């Protein structure tokens, strides 16, 4: 089992490895660039080499890169769609340069369009991205969402459609966000619902598809469709349910990564301590 935190890339990107190691992480997640801007600078080979060296030195077993929020593969707006595909291809290459295993992505919004068209656009984009990066080992992980507005991914039937129509689907996986699942309507406070949800995901994708779990409590209510993360055990999902999830046999090979609030310098250490205490 791999446990970790989403850490900052401020100053030099390789310093993020030290931040993760300082928290006792065996996994980590980063943005490779500002998540709310289009690419400004590329990561240099020297910085990437140092990132890989420090990762090996600290024994970080899993690295996930989270795709920026601006890019949208479900959009009906042509210029944004083309720019988003190009950005994803660049991000896949950058993740590979860092030695990351995964690029985690939201599935985009079909605003001003329809769900079928949004799914069709997303599938076409992923096919192009995977074709253009066919020599890379980086897997693309599709994250579930809380279900607000026109965002894809609140139901795992969206994942089923995508896995069924992407040619190189062996390079796809799932990132399960616990807060998003709860907010989308899955009452994961109940063990039987967790069991059913994990089986449901594997039936619609494939066995072992869940490679990363964004391990978050929720500030907002079950089926609220509002995406607000909370500290572990302090939200409306609660410690007992989260403990059941982190010890679930279906998720034994997954990396659990915290995306909990960071309002104080001690917040990550506090949540990491709570996560580790839950592991049987």
pLDDT at 253: 97
DSSP 231-271: -TTTSSS-HHHHHHHHT-GGGTTSEEEE----SSTTHHHHH
Kindly state the average pLDDT of the residues 232-244.
Answer: 98
Q: How many residues does the chain have?
A: 280
CB atoms within 10 A of CB 83: 16
pLDDT at 81: 98
The bridge status of strand 217-218 relative to strand 229-230 is antiparallel
pLDDT at 39: 74
Confirm whether residue 177 is marked as ligand binding. Answer: yes
Confirm whether residue 106 is marked as ligand binding. Answer: yes
pLDDT at 12: 95
Kindly state the average pLDDT of the residues 8-32.
Answer: 96
227 conformational bin, left if phi > 0, alpha if psi -120 to 50, beta if neither: beta
Share of the chain above pLDDT 70, in %: 99
pLDDT digits (tens, 9 = 90+) for 76-131: 999 999 999 999 999 999 999 999 999 999 999 999 999 999 999 999 999 999 99
Instruction: Give the CATH number of the domain where residue 130 resides.
Output: 3.20.20.150
Confirm whether residue 66 is marked as ligand binding. Answer: yes
pLDDT at 214 over 80: yes
pLDDT at 34: 80
pLDDT at 7: 98
Give 80-85's long-range contacts (Cβ < 8 A, gap of 24+): 81/121, 81/125, 83/38, 84/108, 84/125, 85/125, 85/128, 85/129
Distance between CA atoms of residues 159 and 154, nearest Å: 9
pTM of structure: 0.97
Kindly state the average pLDDT of the residues 184-196.
Answer: 98
Let me know: does 233 contact 176? Beta carbons within 8 Å: no
pLDDT at 159: 98
pLDDT digits (tens, 9 = 90+) for 116-138: 999 999 999 999 999 999 999 99
Confirm whether residue 227 is marked as ligand binding. Answer: yes
Confirm whether residue 202 is marked as ligand binding. Answer: no
As a whole number, the mean pLDDT across the chain is 96
* Residue located via tokens 């985690």: 104
pLDDT at 224 over 90: yes
Confirm whether residue 6 is marked as ligand binding. Answer: no
pLDDT at 62 over 80: yes
Query: Considering only CA atoms, which of 139, 81, 130 is closest in space to residue 109?
Result: 81
pLDDT at 35 over 90: no
Q: Give the structural domain span for 200.
A: 2-278
Confirm whether residue 143 is marked as ligand binding. Answer: yes
Q: How many domains does the chain have?
A: 1
pLDDT at 24: 98
Confirm whether residue 180 is marked as ligand binding. Answer: yes
Kindly state the average pLDDT of the residues 43-56.
Answer: 97
Confirm whether residue 158 is marked as ligand binding. Answer: no
């Amino acid at each position: 089992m791999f446990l970790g935190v989403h850490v900052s890339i401020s100053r030099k990107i390789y310093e993020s490895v030290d931040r993760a190691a300082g928290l006792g992480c065996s996994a980590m997640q980063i943005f490779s660039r500002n998540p709310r801007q289009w690419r400004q600078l590329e990561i240099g080979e020297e910085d990437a080499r140092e990132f890989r060296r420090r990762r090996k030195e600290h024994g970080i077993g899993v690295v996930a890169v989270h795709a920026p929020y601006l890019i949208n593969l479900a959009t009906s707006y042509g210029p944004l769609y083309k720019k988003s595909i190009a950005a994803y291809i660049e991000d896949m290459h950058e993740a590979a340069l860092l030695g990351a295993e995964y690029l985690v992505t939201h599935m985009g919004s079909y605003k001003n369009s329809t769900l079928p068209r949004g799914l069709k656009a997303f599938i076409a984009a992923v096919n192009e991205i995977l074709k253009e990066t066919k020599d890379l080992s980086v897997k693309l992980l599709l994250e579930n969402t809380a279900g607000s507005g026109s965002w894809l991914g609140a139901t795992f039937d969206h994942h089923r459609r995508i896995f069924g129509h992407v040619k190189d689907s062996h390079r796809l996986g799932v990132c399960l966000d616990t807060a998003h699942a709860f907010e989308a309507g899955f009452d994961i406070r109940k063990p039987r619902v967790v069991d059913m949800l994990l089986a449901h995901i594997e039936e619609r994708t494939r066995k072992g598809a869940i490679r990363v779990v964004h391990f978050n409590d929720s500030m907002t209510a079950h089926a609220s469709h509002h995406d607000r993360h909370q500290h572990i055990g302090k939200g409306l999902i609660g410690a007992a349910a989260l403990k059941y999830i982190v010890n679930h046999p279906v998720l034994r090979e997954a990396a659990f990564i915290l995306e909990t609030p960071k309002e104080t310098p001690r917040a990550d250490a506090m949540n990491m301590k709570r996560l580790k205490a839950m592991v049987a």
